[in-house]
Amino acid sequence: IYTAQFHFYVYLTIADILDVLSLINCHVGFTVYFCTCSRYRRTFYSILPYFGF
């Protein structure tokens, strides 16, 4: 299968699903890291006042 055909038949068919899975992966990664790393939480909370929170 050629690259152009692959792009047309496979990627365009499942592109929306891949985009949603990428967004879910980013959110889950942030949540897991936030819940498991106390140093990350401290840093996150220390920069919140600079953004008006």
**What's residue 37's pLDDT?**
93
| Chain segment 33-48, per-residue pLDDT in tens | 989 999 999 998 999 8
DSSP state of 48: G
pLDDT of 1 higher than 80: no
pLDDT bin (cut points 50, 70, 90) of residue 21 is: very high
Contacts of 27 (CB under 8 A, 6+ apart): none
**Separation between Cα atoms, residue 25 and residue 19, nearest integer Å:** 10
The C-alpha atoms of residue 31 and residue 23 are separated, in whole angstroms, by: 12
Q: Is the pLDDT of residue 11 over 90?
A: no
